[in-house]
Structure 1
Amino acid sequence: MIENASRHYQIRDFLTSYYGMSSFFCFPSSCPCIPGMPICLLCTCLGGSVYCDDLNLDSVPPLPKDTTHFYARYNRIKKINKSDFASMNKLKRIDLTHNEITSIEDRAFMGLPELEEVVIRENHISQLPSFPETMTLIDASHNNVGSKGIHREAFKDMTGLLYLYLTDNHIDYIPVPLPDTLRSLHLQRNNIQMMHEDTFCNLQDFSYIRRALEDIRLDGNPINLSRTPQAYICLPRIPIGDLI
């Protein structure tokens, strides 16, 4: 942290000396960016990837329009606004692991035509926002999401979704329907107490098989998987969880 602070002041002193306008710049913890200056002077930019990890940021900085991957892990960001990623038409991945986020405006991730992966694990989020249909990975593990914090049929139309991680929340049901493309569903250590026999399978069509869904984690929930034996007939593997 001392090295990061030293870096901030070195950048500030250099730019202030070069431009002669000390009031033009702002740095953590007062604010995370340099108005009008490239964010790459504060963060590390490699190609289309912007790395702003562990910089004591308290909000999302303005990003270059050609950003494809944005990492702001281990900061103090508290809220995600709709304007934070507006017009970021090339953005594919957002990783905000381990911040202090309590709220995300509902359409903050919408309008991003290339967005595929969002990682918001290890925050204080109680309400998941809407996600675009282009998603392949959503990781909102280790938050405060309850059953009312997930939109009805939130994942139904994500026909390319592969990985859904909601471990360590307060969810009391499996958020169906889930797309057939899904490979991994992690719901460990929630409050799921029951499962319907058609949660994963189509009981009207016994030829239906969910070949992709090989990794279901329900361990750490107060649910007895042996009570619904027909719920797994279409799955390549039985979910991990309590059987007694």
Structure 2
Amino acid sequence: MAVNRQTSKMALYLVWTLLGFSLSAPPTDLDSEAFSPNYDDLNTWDLNPYGMTYDYDDLDEEVGTLAPPPAVTQPPAVVSPEDYVEEMTLPPRPTKSPVLSTLDFRGPGLFGPDTGLGMPSCLLCVCISGSVYCDDSELTQIPPLPKETTHFYARFNKITEVKATDFINLNQLKRIDLSGNQIGKVNEDSFRSLLQLQDLMLADNNIQALPELPASLKHIDVRNNQLRSTGMHAEAFKEMKELQFLYLSNNKLDYIPVSLPDSLRVLHLQNNNIQSLSQDTFCNTHDKSYIRKALEDIRLDGNPVDINLYPQAYICLPRLPVGTPV
């Protein structure tokens, strides 16, 4: 059986070979030499007319090792740090119309009633050592002062009243200058407790009456006010053993205040309503040897009094008063 199968395969192979040869064979009438190759010229054939040789082994290797096209990758996701805070632009806040600030001297806090024991007006004025300067500051009342204040200046403001509590506990105060304000009222206890006060300047105000003043005063200036004789204490200056300067000009006084201390050097009473003098106004009628040596400057001009009518009133003075009848 095996021999027969082998024989059959060989027979089929011959048939297919002959059949293929017959189909591809050229026609019998053609010249066989035209189709027969010239093997003698085989070496002269130019198989590569372009003058290049190829190493097909290398070509296969190059083709096999071509790099794949680059893959399209997405950019990495941005990760914010843990402490990152995103900035935001807020819309502008609505603006409010400015409100004028006012000082509260009665309520609690910095400008409350207890601040006179501590500091405070140094926020409003200029404080240098023990001196407080509040000149021309549009004040309508006296601000609380540091307890250590020795000199207080508040000239050219709009202060209308001096209260009993304005200078309380200011035991070191030596000078008060409130000139050029609008003061019409001075409380009776405003200056009484100031036992070291030496200079009291109240010129150019609207004062009609003076309160009780400390005996320590050396200089009093109440010029250009509305002061009347009825608005002064009887013998208001008698106990002021160190008083040297007393300025009372341009007021509405009816007479010269008595008794005047021996320490007085200057007395200005011009432009008042003084109509008469007493022999005891400057001198002591009971002591003919008494001489008032310190009082050298007396001004009575601008008053209705005729000083020539009272010669005995000046016999103890080193100089005569200045004054002529109106």
TM-score (normalised: structure 1): 0.85
Residue 97 of structure 1 is matched in structure 2 by 179
Residue 109 of structure 1 is matched in structure 2 by 191
Deviation, 1:113, is 1.7
- The alignment partner of 2:313 has SS state of helix
Identity value in percent: 53
- The alignment partner of 1:185 has SS state of strand
Tell me, yes or no, if the aligned pair for 1:49 and 1:70 is still in contact at 8 Å.
Answer: yes
TM-score (normalised: structure 2): 0.64
The alignment covers a number of residue pairs equal to: 217
Unmatched tracts of structure 2, length 5 or more: 1-99
Aligned mate of 2:133, from 39, 44, 51: 51
- The alignment partner of 1:123 has SS state of coil
Deviation, 1:32, is 7.9
Q: Take 2:168 and 2:220, find their aligned partners in 1: how far apart are those partners?
A: 20
Aligned mate of 2:210, from 112, 122, 128: 128
Deviation, 1:38, is 2.8
Tell me, yes or no, if the aligned pair for 1:163 and 1:182 is still in contact at 8 Å.
Answer: yes
Pair member with larger Rg: 2
Tell me, yes or no, if the aligned pair for 2:149 and 2:170 is still in contact at 8 Å.
Answer: yes
Q: Take 1:134 and 1:77, find their aligned partners in 2: how far apart are those partners?
A: 25
Please provide the CA RMSD for this pair. 1.6
Q: Take 2:179 and 2:164, find their aligned partners in 1: how far apart are those partners?
A: 19
Residue 200 of structure 1 is matched in structure 2 by 282
Runs (4 or more) in structure 1 with deviation over 3 Å come to 30-34
Q: Take 1:174 and 1:185, find their aligned partners in 2: how far apart are those partners?
A: 10
Tell me, yes or no, if the aligned pair for 1:215 and 1:239 is still in contact at 8 Å.
Answer: yes
Task: Identify if the C-alpha distance between structure 1 residues 133 and 181 changes in structure 2 by more than 3 Å, giving closer, same or farther.
Answer: same
The aligned runs of 1:1-244 (5 Å cut-off) are: 30-31=102-103, 35=111, 38-242=120-324
Deviation, 1:197, is 1.4
Structure of greater relative contact order (alpha carbons < 8 Å, 6+ residues apart): 1
Kindly provide the CA deviation profile for residues 123-150 of structure 1, in whole angstroms up to 9, marking residues without a partner as x.
Answer: 0010111100101011111000111111
Tell me, yes or no, if the aligned pair for 1:31 and 1:57 is still in contact at 8 Å.
Answer: no
Structure 1 counterpart of 2:139, which letter?
A: L
Deviation, 1:204, is 1.9
Deviation, 1:243, is 6.6
Kindly provide the CA deviation profile for residues 51-107 of structure 1, in whole angstroms up to 9, marking residues without a partner as x.
Answer: 000000000000000000000000000000110000100000000001010000011
Task: Identify if the C-alpha distance between structure 1 residues 173 and 32 changes in structure 2 by more than 3 Å, giving closer, same or farther.
Answer: farther
Deviation, 1:185, is 0.5
Larger mean CA deviation between 30-39 and 169-178 belongs to 30-39
- The alignment partner of 1:85 has SS state of coil
Structure 1 counterpart of 2:193, which letter?
A: G
- The alignment partner of 2:230 has SS state of helix
Deviation, 1:31, is 3.4
Tell me, yes or no, if the aligned pair for 2:195 and 2:215 is still in contact at 8 Å.
Answer: no
